[in-house]
Amino acid sequence: MILPSRLSATTLGDLLGMLHRERTTGTLELTELWHTPGTRSGHYVHLRSGLVVDVETPLSKTPPLGEFLRREGFLSNTGYRVLMGHLEKHDRRSTGEILVAERLADAAIVEAALRVQVRMKLDVLFHLTEALVTFHAAGPPKRAARRIHPLTPRDFLVGRPRARDRAPTSEVRPRTRPAVWSEPFYTYERANDASQSRTPPPSSARTTQAKAHHEGPPHVSGRAKPTSTFLHLAPDVRRRALSKLGLPMTADEADVKRAFRKLAVELHPDKHATAPALHRDRSAARFAEVSEAYHLLVA
């Protein structure tokens, strides 16, 4: 199997697809050609039998596991202080191992949170447009191998950009400059004040415009300007996040909040405490997925 040497000649989705079909074990390394001086330029996707088991990248702002669980309501403030006490004493165990061994969090919750963190890091890498591609055919790090069950193809292949989705090679495409990723999921092109203050077109024109630009909801006169970055997410990122909440691309921020409240009540671990272990695990994983999508959309 021969991989392209440059990311611009393919996509991360195509690379992972090839490695998945070959059931390859090793590390896919992406090295940026342009990066801020003093920062790391390498990104690593660790695979086992063609499945993603871990991602290392300096681009992601994924919070530490303990902080992530506390933010999502799965770790109490007392439990968080106990965890930090162990870490400050240089406990040799991983954070997840401490949480489970000290009974600060359920093992299924820790597993689900770790999987969400890996997916979040992987999502960031799909925004890279150029990098040197190298594959190291060796076993993934022991740390990665023991942390979580691998991500499924649904996590890293389904709905991901592919080379076949690009414009034909005969078309001239504008050259994009390398991005400095301070906010991994968001685009930086916000509507200017003038466009926000324009008089809205007639309803028929709005309907046509909404069909032509289905990535975002049509402008509604009198609606308060959202304070979050909801409307400024990259369309493919917003589409995936909305689908996890069972919402279409036309949903607005209020729809997101209503859907999340409903799902949170249905999926919260406290409601399934006495359910069979398999049911608890599935509910915990789904709750973590829904929470990730919600925080991404309204952050």
Q: What is the 3-state secondary structure (H, E, C) of 172-212?
A: CCCCCCCCCCCCCCECCCCCCHHHHHCCCCCHHHHHHHHHH
- Please report the pLDDT score of residue 224 as a whole number: 41
Strand order in the sheet with 51-56: 51-56, 42-48, 26-31, 132-136
- Please report the pLDDT score of residue 125 as a whole number: 92
- Please report the pLDDT score of residue 89 as a whole number: 92
Say how far apart CA 239 and CA 123 lie, in whole Å.
13
Closest to 234 in 3D by CA, of 209, 254, 216, 208: 216
pLDDT tens for 230-258 read: 556 677 778 888 888 899 988 888 888 88
Question: Domains in the chain, ordered, with CATH?
Answer: 1-150 (no CATH), 227-299 (1.10.287.110)
Residues in the chain with pLDDT values less than 70: 35-40, 139-147, 166-233, 269-270, 273, 299
Say how far apart CA 146 and CA 172 lie, in whole Å.
46
- Please report the pLDDT score of residue 2 as a whole number: 86
Query: pTM value?
Result: 0.56
From residue 151, give the alpha-carbon distance in Å to each of 45, 54, 112, 158, 256: 12, 9, 11, 12, 26
Closest to 283 in 3D by CA, of 295, 296, 266, 297: 266
